[in-house]
Structure 1
Amino acid sequence: MQDDILKLAFEVHRATEEKIDVIDALTRRTKTLALNARIEAARAGQQGAAFAVVAQEMSDFASEVAHLATELRSVIASNITQIETAGEKMVLDFRGARYADLSRNVVEIIDRNLYERSCDVRWWATDSAVVDVASGLTDNDAARERANERLATILRSYTVYLDLWVADINGRVIAQGRGNRYPGIIGKDVSQSLWFNKALQTTSGDAFAVCDIAREPLLEDAAVATYSTAIRAGGEVLGEPIGALGIFFDWEPQAQSVVRDVALTEEERRACRVMLLNSNFQVIASSDSKGLLTERYPLDIIQPQRGFYRQRDKLISYALTPGYETYHGLGWYGCIESR
């Protein structure tokens, strides 16, 4: 509708200019005829005096028409400019608001996905095989083998993860789900890892920790969203921490599918870049597959929750994560840059 209004304004402007040009041309012809008539009347002498009066009237009439055409052109041009300006603002506001809504939708979809990850880590930390291997109360080799098998079984059903790790209370990895794919992780010291320390700081089995998107060197430098929680004695909600479970969400393919599947028309898709930004405005997903964890996008927050603004020939729309259920988000933004 907004585009139609603008097109109509441009068409009215064009048609008006054409018609006024025709009036100007007719006026010039009339003045020429009047001038010729006065010349002929002068040649005719006394007999042409009356005709000279008519010729002068024709010239005066043509001048008045020319003046009116000039005024009409000026008035119409002014009004058309206002219509065009209002129409452009209407289009800008409509698209900006729509893209801001879509930006919120992008970050909401990813938040709902990550909420499920927070449920997974809390659930799996109570699995008997995980609790047993972390407790060290049973034969270590048998407990580790059982835990490895259990984690591998989980990974066969939950394909969005690269690996699942169990670390003992000292931060040594004692079980994992994909030892064949990622060998050499068992025995690694992760005591300095953010996910491990945040897991041990959780206050109960109902709590979890989440780290921002980062590359994990032990998983072939893949970009991951890491969730963790403490493994507690007996699998009890308020049990003493005896280790930590870390689960590594395969971020890049999942996030790419979200930013690429936004409800845009094909024309809009060609003109838009859809992104997810972390709280530092670092690009953590982009529909053009560029800038992952290397680009900081210069987002200008003009309104705290959502908004849009024009930047030269671009329209920038954004929305802050609203969180989902018990997952409050990490201050991420959905963002759409359109040309």
Structure 2
Amino acid sequence: MANAVQVDDVLSGAIRAKDLTEAKIAQIRAITGRLRILALNAMIEATQAGAHGRGFAVVAQEVRNISTEVERISGSFASELVSEIAALETLTRRMAEDAQGARLVDLALNAVELIDRNLYERSCDVRWWATDSAVVEALAAPGPEAGAHASLRLGVILDAYTVYLDLWLCDMDGRVVANGRPDRHRVQGLDVRDRPWFQKGRLLASGNDYAVTEVDAEPGLGRAQVATYAASVREDGDAHGRPLGILAIHFDWEPQARAIVQGVRLGEGERDRTRVLLVDRAHRVIAASDGRGLLTERFPLRTDGALSGSYGEPGSVVAFHHTPGYETYQGLGWYGVIVQRTA
């Protein structure tokens, strides 16, 4: 922000210098104009004086010549100086745009970094909870009591981790056998074989791996927007044991993502003309500071193959940054995007 202010100061100084120069040149032209009139009057008087005025006529002509030369020089100087100042204005404006674009790119990076760090924790949670003894037993020795105990255990976890809407324990056939909030979401017995997270979860090589799919509206949760992470539950809780089923954790996406995009640190007067977005790899809007277009809008982002950058649009500037990932979480190809109307 400081660099942008400094560039604005330089631009303001260049404009003031241009105005001052034009004023001074106008004064020079006014004086030379008066000199020419004075020289013309002197020549008229010298002519009327006849032989006695010849010497004075020479002086008058020289004054006229000098005034003409000064006018020519001042005109040339004005043209060159105005051209130089105009070039400086253009350069300074470009520097200001570049500085502002770089700042907005940093803000876009900050937004996508925050969500990456948040989702890294989710990838850890699901692998850890998939080894819980109650979860393993509910699939190893299925029955009403084992399922009820697993639901109770999942409910305890949810009480401590309020960022989740629900946790679902599924057998290998894609049937939900237990969930953490059965009083809110009656999903036990639900067939989830068609869910992308279940299909990816069945292919996991070990309990050390996890599956995640794009943010979506989950029908079993009233079409709430969720980011779902899945891990395989394995025999004896061993990472290389026989797979028994899948644990899916549904991250309450919309309020968490909204807090991030609305929390971007914008300067005074910027918020009303700035839209902060998270978009997925297909440029679908998955979070927006104005709440518009969630899961329905595809933002026309132009990256030209770059991981970050900014570019101008009519009346606005667009800045973006690709997900950098965090620790073992490599992200899903998302972008942080800032769209700011020019003031």
* TM-score tier after normalising by the smaller chain length: over 0.9
Residue in structure 2 matching 1:16, options 7, 14, 21:
21
Q: For residues 41 and 149 of structure 2, what CA distance do their matches in structure 1 show?
A: 112
The code of the aligned residue for 2:87 comes to Q
Q: Do residues 3 (structure 1) and 8 (structure 2) align?
A: yes
Q: For residues 51 and 114 of structure 1, what CA distance do their matches in structure 2 show?
A: 93
2:134 alignment partner in structure 1: 129
Please tell me whether the aligned partners of residues 121 and 229 of structure 1 are also in contact (alpha carbons under 8 angstroms): yes
Q: For residues 56 and 161 of structure 2, what CA distance do their matches in structure 1 show?
A: 100
User: For residues 81 and 254 of structure 1, do their structure 2 counterparts lie closer, same or farther at Cα, with a shift above 3 Å needed?
Assistant: same
Per the TM alignment, residue 225 of structure 1 is displaced from its structure 2 partner at its CA by 0.6
Please tell me whether the aligned partners of residues 171 and 190 of structure 1 are also in contact (alpha carbons under 8 angstroms): yes
Q: Do residues 205 (structure 1) and 173 (structure 2) align?
A: no
1:335 alignment partner in structure 2: 337
Q: For residues 253 and 50 of structure 2, what CA distance do their matches in structure 1 show?
A: 99
Q: For residues 337 and 79 of structure 2, what CA distance do their matches in structure 1 show?
A: 42
The answer for unaligned runs of 5 or more in structure 2 is: 1-5
Per the TM alignment, residue 46 of structure 1 is displaced from its structure 2 partner at its CA by 4.1
Please tell me whether the aligned partners of residues 316 and 336 of structure 1 are also in contact (alpha carbons under 8 angstroms): yes
**SS, match of residue 207 in structure 2:** coil
2:153 alignment partner in structure 1: 150
Per the TM alignment, residue 124 of structure 1 is displaced from its structure 2 partner at its CA by 0.9
Q: Do residues 102 (structure 1) and 104 (structure 2) align?
A: no
2:306 alignment partner in structure 1: 304
1:68 alignment partner in structure 2: 73
Q: Do residues 227 (structure 1) and 256 (structure 2) align?
A: no
For 1:177-256, list aligned pairs within 5 A.
Answer: 177-182=180-185, 184-256=186-258
The one-character-per-residue Cα deviations of 1:37-69 (angstroms, maximum 9, x if unpaired) are 333444444444443333322222221111111
The code of the aligned residue for 2:326 comes to Y
Q: For residues 206 and 186 of structure 1, what CA distance do their matches in structure 2 show?
A: 26
Q: For residues 271 and 46 of structure 1, what CA distance do their matches in structure 2 show?
A: 79
Q: For residues 291 and 121 of structure 1, what CA distance do their matches in structure 2 show?
A: 29
Q: Do residues 114 (structure 1) and 116 (structure 2) align?
A: no
**SS, match of residue 94 in structure 1:** helix
**SS, match of residue 6 in structure 1:** helix
Residue in structure 1 matching 2:168, options 151, 160, 165:
165
Q: For residues 313 and 23 of structure 1, what CA distance do their matches in structure 2 show?
A: 41
Residue in structure 2 matching 1:261, options 241, 260, 263:
263
Please tell me whether the aligned partners of residues 202 and 230 of structure 1 are also in contact (alpha carbons under 8 angstroms): yes
The one-character-per-residue Cα deviations of 1:218-249 (angstroms, maximum 9, x if unpaired) are 21222111101111122111121211111111
The code of the aligned residue for 2:101 comes to G
1:39 alignment partner in structure 2: 44
**SS, match of residue 126 in structure 1:** coil
Please identify, of 94-103 and 159-168, the stretch whose mean Cα deviation from structure 2 is larger: 94-103
The answer for unaligned runs of 5 or more in structure 1 is: none
2:3 alignment partner in structure 1: none
Identity of counterpart residues, as a percentage? 48
Q: For residues 224 and 171 of structure 2, what CA distance do their matches in structure 1 show?
A: 24
Q: For residues 46 and 256 of structure 1, what CA distance do their matches in structure 2 show?
A: 95
1:90 alignment partner in structure 2: 95
Please tell me whether the aligned partners of residues 198 and 229 of structure 1 are also in contact (alpha carbons under 8 angstroms): no
**SS, match of residue 292 in structure 1:** coil
Per the TM alignment, residue 167 of structure 1 is displaced from its structure 2 partner at its CA by 1.3
Please identify, of 46-55 and 118-127, the stretch whose mean Cα deviation from structure 2 is larger: 46-55
2:177 alignment partner in structure 1: 174
What TM-score results when the alignment is normalised by the length of structure 1? 0.93
